[in-house]
Structure 1
Amino acid sequence: MVGTPRRYGTGVHDDLEDLQASHVYDLTTDDDEEGAENAQLIEDIKDDDFDDSENPIPQDNEVEVVYLFERQTFRDNEERWMAGLPAPPPRRPKGSKPKRQAFVAWEPRVKTEHPYHILDSCVLPSGDRLLPGNFVEVRSPPNFKLKSEDFFKIKKIFELNEQVILRGWIYRRTNTLEGMLSRNLNEVYQVLQRNLEDPRDIETQSLHDIPLLQVWRVRELVTTNCTFPEHSFRDGQDFSHMSSNTVVAFAKPNLHLTCRWQRVFFYKTKMDLEYGVTSQRAVLRITETECAKGFATPDAVLRGAYAKFRSDGLCFGDIFAGAGGVSSGAREAGFSPKFAVDKNGPACRTYRLNFRDTQVFEEEVFYYLTIRDHIDSHTCVIHISSVCKTLSPAHTVQGQDDDDNAATLYVISDILTKNRPRICTLEQTAGALQPRHMPIFNSFVQQFTIMGYSVRWGLQNLSEFGVPQSRKRLIMIASCPGHPLPDFPKPTHGPGLLPFVTVAEALAPVTPGLPNHILPKIIRPGRYRPYSPHQLLPGCITTTGGQNWHPNGARLYTVRELACLQTFPLDHVFIGTRGQTMCQVGNAVPPRYSKLLYQEIMKVLLEVEQVDKYGTSHDQPILLDDEEDVQMDLNRITIELD
């Protein structure tokens, strides 16, 4: 007797450990534009260089297709549970253009109480036999030609309710990422998700189910960590006698696909996963262990082409350094600031005063990248804080420097080319993730991925890391090919953790006579309302101080007090007028957060260095076989390295 399917999130357990539910993907893309008009080199042919309407996908037995792509909200009703088949989508009138709309929220794979039977194989209507491990192309909905079809790698085949179900992982063409990856023909990425509360591995959490009816045909997939175009369909093929459109028409449906990347969605809680609220996202390069046999390059070889460890410590470079907020935190984490670049004169003087052994280039970043010649410009870690005014939500009136400021957003690839860092971090205003700025943000990601760097990003509320203000910043971390990608630091303050740092606690060390602690003139009584200092700062510190005043309501903050609220150490001195120093403080990344971030990066760098030197992590125990005839409770001996 078949039972009633239960809603997802019920926690029902199946017999096999990998059958636990994975839920919803928050995938949102728009249909790609029509293909290019001019012929290109074969390695530059993109997925959208060909109009699928000239070579439509055959739609056999359209009435019996169970559609993977639903343009509506999923509901727990009989139709969703395959009791009935959905009606075909309405035909679009000729000559009309499709509306731009969200692509799809993937239907969750839900644990049910239905009995199922594991199958060794199954057969497509075409006669092809499917086995676990096969890579298949999923059929698109009829009457709505998508530019990019989806693919599925099968892990398990089973029968449920007299219907054959495939369980596995989703793959998509790179042209669906809206510019985050290069749109190279027959290049795909794997879609993964991870609930940070779930102890299972990410591969298991990312499994999804589709009916056999959605499979169109078997395709060939090559998984590699080599750089494009190595191991692509272009290897061993001569297309010199064919036009660009002809190559696409032949290669897109027939030749093998190559996967070099993974797109990962991270969720803090199970509820966040069900509602599609991500805490961070990432585009990761395939690692050596994930490659198909014979298609891998050792990770140590890949990262060996980038900046190496120096005898004078882990070198750090700060681009758009300002007064040195990031450098201060990195120095406390154990890094040695090697150089800094900024065009602001007062900020550079402040930086020189506080980092006497660091070379400061007071110049435009374009001069640094194009004209200035460095004998040894390779630096282990680089930070970039490009000008954020044009992306800030507070930027409502166009300024005379907007064009110059916007140009600084597109220098990431040039910095990576010049400095060859192993790890790169980027900080930007939270406004960069607003819908109107998404093309610019996607270009941030592409500037990393086009150089082969893995990258993760997320909004960080700095109050959760000991900063006494609710300050949200976009943080990106990137790692070079072959290098593990560091995680974000874990929050230290908040519910269940340390209490938030209050204004009173941050200002407690401030005493008369400290540098930059010049009391401003008394404002007229009643202009500002007093507030309790035993809380987070009501506003966010900006380049003008923001709408912030002293808790007593009688005056504004001094520059030293603002610096303490930004977690600068008391011995960090600022040079310039009050307006210039307030701008330096407001532009800075709080050193306390920077320290936590670079401590995480330091851990990964040291572990990789240990592996490269000795073939094992310093923290990993070496296990030796117990060959002696001695009665022991353990079969293996663990020797900890000092």
Structure 2
Amino acid sequence: MRYTCIDSFSGAGGLSLGLSKAGFEILFSFDIDELSIKTQKLNTKYFNHEAVCADITQLNSKQLMKQLGIKKGELTLFAGGPPCQGFSIQRIGEDSDDRNNLVFEFMKKVVDFLPKFFLMENVPGIAGKRGKEILEEALDYAEQNGYAIHRQILDAQDYGVPQRRKRLIIIGERKLNGKLKFQFPKASTKKITVREVISKLPKPPADGKEHEKISLHRSDKLSKVNLERIKYLKPGQGREFLPENLLADCHKIDSSVIGHRNVYGRMSWDKVAPTITARFDSFTRGLFGHPEQHRTISLREGALLQTFPMDFDFCGNKVDVARQIGNAVPPKLAFEIGKKIIQSIV
């Protein structure tokens, strides 16, 4: 049996990678970010589908169905993660972010294609105060068009990803014969640690150049004060363990009052990593220091902690690559969800 999928807001392809491993045939993927599409096209070992740089609001569903040789209702899965920055708990102020409207654009495309399932991934904050109204309106629209909604917050560390990463996963299942079959994957008690994933990698060159055998494995130069900070810290320690003379002025207020506890820190060897964000390449943005070496984790180490394969390449400069890695759906999480969707069909 053929399980077909369109991946929208695809980024570098983390979702596509996991879904294809689970048994889906990716027919088409798109994203408005040109570098992410270049990344997908670069990885011919993993992708052979058409990937295009496109704005979802400009994509013609009828033309795309004709192009892909499918009719309305034939697609197995329409998947994607509409940009979520507008719902992030790190943002403050009014909910006026245009990206929030993309949730409804996503759902309109779902109804255009009428797949057996849709999968939407987002930050848990989308269901909070600012995002709830937009989300519920979109899900109501899906229900009016024949979908039953399954939703659950999954933490990636419970599904074979060596990282704390909570995401709201919404599965729409088209009602057929009144029977609903989809069930979320069960959480595993086994956690994959940072040590298991990156401890065997050799040290990157001290001169800041890329490792000759491992792409994207290089050590960024730290400022003098950041080097002092990381040398002071043990694995798993963050800025609350630093002496006052090594704290930035904004961090001299107790972390329980202002937050920002997890900055200027090292990862723990024997725990999962913190959430790999779009700026995990920066020591000042989180617990992104290597557990032992006096450096931030490399781009390759970040990709491995997101469960990308060792030979998966990325296009762009350092900041571009970190953004693509940090914004991706961990392929291993996508794989576990994809398996359950397929099990709901057979």
TM-score range, shorter chain: 0.7 to 0.9
Letter in 2 for 1:566: Q
In 2, Cα distance between equivalents of 1:523 and 1:530: 19
Q: Secondary structure at the match of 1:478?
A: strand
Which residue pairs with 1:507 in the alignment?
198
- Give, in angstroms, the shift of residue 356 of structure 1: 4.0
Query: Structure 1 residue 430 and structure 2 residue 124: aligned?
Result: yes
What code does the residue aligned with 1:515 have? Answer: S
The structural deviation recorded for 1:438 is 1.9
Shift of 1:398: 7.5
Residue 115 of structure 2 is matched in structure 1 by 421
| Consecutive unaligned residues in structure 1, runs of 5 or more | 1-308, 607-642
TM-score, scaled relative to structure 2: 0.77
Distance 1:596 1:370, change over 3 A: closer
In structure 2, do the counterparts of structure 1 residues 541 and 356 end up closer, same or farther at CA, with 3 Å as the change threshold? closer
Change in Cα spacing, 1:522 to 1:403, as seen in structure 2 (3 Å) is closer
Q: Secondary structure at the match of 1:549?
A: coil
Q: Render the CA deviation track for 1:310-337: whole Å, top value 9, x for unaligned.
A: xxx3211100000011111111111111
Q: Provide the residue aligned with 1:365 in structure 2.
A: 56
Which residue in 1 is equivalent to 2:278? 543
Larger radius of gyration: 1
CA distance in 2, matches of 1:414, 1:444: 8
Aligned to 1:332: 21
Q: Letter of the 2:214 partner, please give it.
A: L
| Equivalent residue in structure 2 for 1:442, among 128, 132, 136 | 136
Q: List aligned pairs for 1:383-422, cutoff 5 A.
A: 383-396=79-92, 403-422=97-116
> Is the CA contact (8 Å cut-off) linking 2:82 and 2:106 kept in structure 1?
no
Contact persistence 2:61–2:112 (CA under 8 A): no
Please state which structure has a larger fraction of its residues in helix.
Answer: 2
- Higher relative CO (CA 8 A, sep ≥ 6), structure 1 or 2? 2
- The one-letter amino acid of 2:104's match is Y
1:269-348 correspondence to structure 2 within 5 Å: 313-348=2-37
C-alpha root-mean-square deviation of aligned residues, in Å? 2.1
Shift of 1:560: 0.7
User: 2:56, 2:106 within 8 Å by CA — same for their partners in 1?
Assistant: no
Q: How does 1:140-289 map to 2 (within 5 A)?
A: none
What SS does the corresponding residue of 2:28 show, helix, strand or coil?
Answer: strand
Q: Mind listing any 5+ residue stretches in structure 2 that lack a counterpart? A: 203-210, 236-267
Cα separation, 2, equivalents of 1:357 and 1:564: 22
Q: Partner of 2:245 in structure 1?
A: none
User: Which residue is equivalent to 1:142?
Assistant: none
Distance 1:580 1:508, change over 3 A: same
More strand by share: 1
Contact 1:424–1:478 (8 Å) recurs in 2: yes
TM-score where L is the length of structure 1: 0.43
User: Using the alignment, how far apart are the partners of 1:469 and 1:583 within structure 2?
Assistant: 17
Counterpart AA for 1:321 = S
In the TM superposition, residue 373 of structure 1 has moved relative to its aligned partner by 4.2
State the 1:590 CA deviation: 0.7
* Alignment-mate amino acid for residue 487 of structure 1: Q
Contact between 1:530 and 1:553, CA under 8 Å: does it hold in 2? Answer: no
CA distance in 2, matches of 1:412, 1:363: 13
Residues 605, 450 of structure 1: CA spacing in aligned structure 2 closer, same or farther, 3 A cutoff? Answer: same
Alignment match of 2:184 (pick from 483, 488, 510): 488
Alpha-carbon distance, 1:459 to partner? 0.8
Aligned partners of 1:477 and 1:485 also within 8 Å: no
- Structure 2 residue 76 is the aligned partner of structure 1 residue 380: yes
**Aligned CA distance change for structure 1 residues 410 and 326 (closer, same or farther; 3 Å):** same
Q: What is the match of residue 460 of structure 1? A: 154
What amino acid maps onto 2:86 in structure 1?
A: T
Deviations 1:530-573 (A, max 9, x none): 31311122x32111114122112611111111011111111211
| Closer/same/farther in 2, CA of residues 356 and 485 from structure 1, 3 Å limit | same
In 1, Cα distance between the equivalents of 2:105 and 2:294? 45
Match of 1:530 in 2: 234
The answer to whether the 8 Å contact 1:413/1:451 transfers is no
TM-aligned CA deviation for residue 440 of structure 1:
2.0
Q: Contact (CA 8 Å) 2:6, 2:26: kept in 1 or not?
A: yes
Q: Is the 8 A contact 1:369 1:414 kept in 2?
A: no
How much does 1:501 deviate?
1.2
In structure 1, the partner of 2:302 is: 562
Matches within 5 A, 1:37-186: none
Deviations along 1:173-196, one digit per CA (max 9) or x if unpaired, are xxxxxxxxxxxxxxxxxxxxxxxx
